[in-house]
Structure 1
Amino acid sequence: MDGGPAAAGAPRAASAGRIGGIAAVLVAAILWGTTGTAATFAPGAGPLAIGAAALGIGGLLQGAVALPALRRQRVALRRRPGIVLAGALAVAVYPLAFYSSMHLAGVAIGTVVSLGSAPIASGLLERLLEGRRLGAWWTSAAALGIAGSAILCVSKMNDPAAPPGETVLGIGLGLVAGAAYALYSWCAYRLILGGVGRAAAMGSVFGLGGALLIPVLLITGAPLLESPGNFAVAAYMALVPMFLGYLLFGFGLTRIAPSAATTLTLCEPAVAAVLAVVIVGERLNPAAWAGLAMIALTLAILALAPHGPESERRPGAGGGHGRERRVRAGGD
């Protein structure tokens, strides 16, 4: 005997919940993809001010929202001060390097290099700290990503309108941003794996990281108050992509698997590149587009590659599955 209307409604409810989760993650990724273009609408503000405002204020707001969870799990967090501090330092470094990379190398290239290098840096962290075997898929993706970054660098250096030194430094800072992104994601995941709830893990890392950025904001942020436009950009960055975007992603993670969420966020660098060309007016030569395509393919390989025995960690190495390394935010 079937369960009647209630049983029939359960699959529909599950399907609706999954669709809601997919929509939330997609909207979050699109919002994140707007940050580089939004920063160009505050030309009087430097990248350090923009980055400090975005994640400084956004991080503090995340910490404030997570206060109940932080109180409940303060004992567990106190047992792991090193991981919390390392994650917070990475959160503080990430926006400074990310927005500086876009300022020097351009929105499209800075964004794609930063996001494209993060999964590679995550793999290296997991190999060094947890003994994870990287396997042929990861090696192929890493080689493709490195080649794509090199092509981007050469293509920009051959552009007479782009100072070669700035391009190289911008791409280098993009790699730093990718490493910082990977580190704070790894730290948050280790906290979650150790029994700390997702809200408390992300609230501690982002809240402390945001606090570390406030002195940078106080030193560099005066231009953000010089015009309503600059202030609006700072408010948008902090409240919409950094705060609302993370909340949406966390909502999505309660309804779809982290691996599915990771795949959906591949639209973030695509959105950033399209907006940079269409709105900012950046022009990329064919070689640069080829480099961007190679990095996009790197992300696709890492997200969609099979995760069989070759990607497992050694017995006793601990750690979570590689597909879950892009931890953003979420529930308790």
Structure 2
Amino acid sequence: MNILPYIFVLLAAMLWGTVGTTQTFLREGISPIAVAGVRSAIGGGVLLIAVLIMRKINFKKWSWKWTVFAALTIALFQCLFFTSVRYTGVAVGTVVTIGSSPVFSGIIEWLLFKRRPNRVWGIATLLAIIGCILLFVTRGDTTIHPLGILLALCAGSMFALYTNCSKKLTEREETLPSVAMTFTLCALFLLPFSGSGVSWVLEGQNLWPMLFMGLFATSLAYIFYLAGLEKISSSSAVTLSLAEPLTAALLGVFLVGEYLSPMSWMGVLLLLGGILVLTIGSRKTVKYLKDASSQ
């Protein structure tokens, strides 16, 4: 079994994990939805220009249904997540959103696409979710607000839906134009609700962080994610995306000087353990099934 798709998804999650640290370089007071909209516009727009030049898009035959679904779900994910954080704080909002998304993805994949997640995925997901909880349990505001929890759960379900819609899209279209079209539409959905406009991008030092988030944490990250998603299940990809909070936490320690408690470090180890179980365990499971079928 090729391990490269798993590495692609992990690279995507690591790039997503840089967003929190990168946003600290923006001036204060900018709407998170505005940041998400501009980030999507830069990431999707640059790729759209590239694929148009390369003539990789046939608008008449394009899979519009899955593109619109993917763009709408990733736009809703960002709005719901940012709103949930305002009610619950970063720690609880992140744990509930990121921790619930693999569970939702497994349920969606099972009910809608008749693909039942295997035992390896279940063990890896359990380890990763517990690790995520331990990582954030002693960090940030821990306010438990019912509406905030509900919004975070909705955000987790939207990311799971985005992943499954994107998998359907990449079964019909190439990865590069799929990312370009999805995030161009996502930007069109988000920017009218940004409230901060777009002029702030050129103010002070805002441009360079936004270029990084647009080109690397969006364009490149989602190219990696969809490239990996073509070869592995949606539920496995979403579980591997738990490397995002792991990356964010480690960047906070080594670049921003944040402190992680011993319990948080235990969470780091469990997250890494979940990732290793999924990548190594999935390879062994597939090898076993191939050997069994050949006998």
TM above 0.5, yes or no, is: yes
Residue 189 of structure 1 corresponds to 167
Q: Secondary structure at the match of 1:142?
A: helix
* Aligned-pair CA distance for 1:187: 0.9
Residue 120 of structure 2 corresponds to 137
Change (3 A) 1:152 1:221: farther
Change (3 A) 1:121 1:61: farther
Residue 208 of structure 1 corresponds to 185
For the pair 1:66 / 2:51, whether they are aligned, the reply is yes
Residue 291 of structure 1 corresponds to 267
Residue 106 of structure 2 corresponds to 123
Structure 2: 5+ residue stretches without partners: 290-295
TM-score by length of 1: 0.64
Q: Which amino acid aligns with 2:266?
A: A
Change (3 A) 1:229 1:166: farther
User: 2-side partners of 1:118 and 1:58: how far apart?
Assistant: 23
Contact 1:105 1:171 in 2 (8 A): no
Match of 2:256 among 280, 301, 304: 280
The residue correspondences of 1:45-56 to structure 2 (distance < 5 A) are 45-56=30-41
For the pair 1:86 / 2:69, whether they are aligned, the reply is yes
User: 2-side partners of 1:224 and 1:166: how far apart?
Assistant: 33
Cα-Cα RMSD: 4.4
Change (3 A) 1:172 1:138: farther
Per-residue deviation, residues 206-239 of structure 1 (Å, max 9, x unmatched): 222222122133x234683484123332233113
Match of 1:198 among 161, 175, 187: 175
Contact 1:112 1:292 in 2 (8 A): no
* Aligned-pair CA distance for 1:94: 3.1
Question: How many aligned residue pairs are there?
Answer: 277
Change (3 A) 1:266 1:239: same
Contact 1:113 1:171 in 2 (8 A): yes
User: 2-side partners of 1:39 and 1:148: how far apart?
Assistant: 25
Residue 18 of structure 2 corresponds to 34
TM-score by length of 2: 0.70
Q: Which amino acid aligns with 2:213?
A: M
Match of 2:214 among 238, 244, 252: 238
* Aligned-pair CA distance for 1:37: 0.4
Per-residue deviation, residues 138-195 of structure 1 (Å, max 9, x unmatched): 3333333443444456534xxxxx43227998777665544333322211211233x3
User: 2-side partners of 1:127 and 1:26: how far apart?
Assistant: 23
Contact 1:93 1:180 in 2 (8 A): yes
User: 1-side partners of 2:203 and 2:191: how far apart?
Assistant: 20
User: 2-side partners of 1:116 and 1:304: how far apart?
Assistant: 21
Contact 2:179 2:219 in 1 (8 A): no
User: 2-side partners of 1:308 and 1:22: how far apart?
Assistant: 14
User: 1-side partners of 2:243 and 2:135: how far apart?
Assistant: 20
Match of 1:155 among 138, 152, 169: 138
Residue 3 of structure 1 corresponds to none
Aligned-residue sequence identity (percent) comes to 31
Structure 1: 5+ residue stretches without partners: 1-17, 157-161, 312-332
Q: Secondary structure at the match of 2:165?
A: helix
Residue 293 of structure 2 corresponds to none
Contact 1:122 1:182 in 2 (8 A): yes
Contact 2:57 2:177 in 1 (8 A): yes
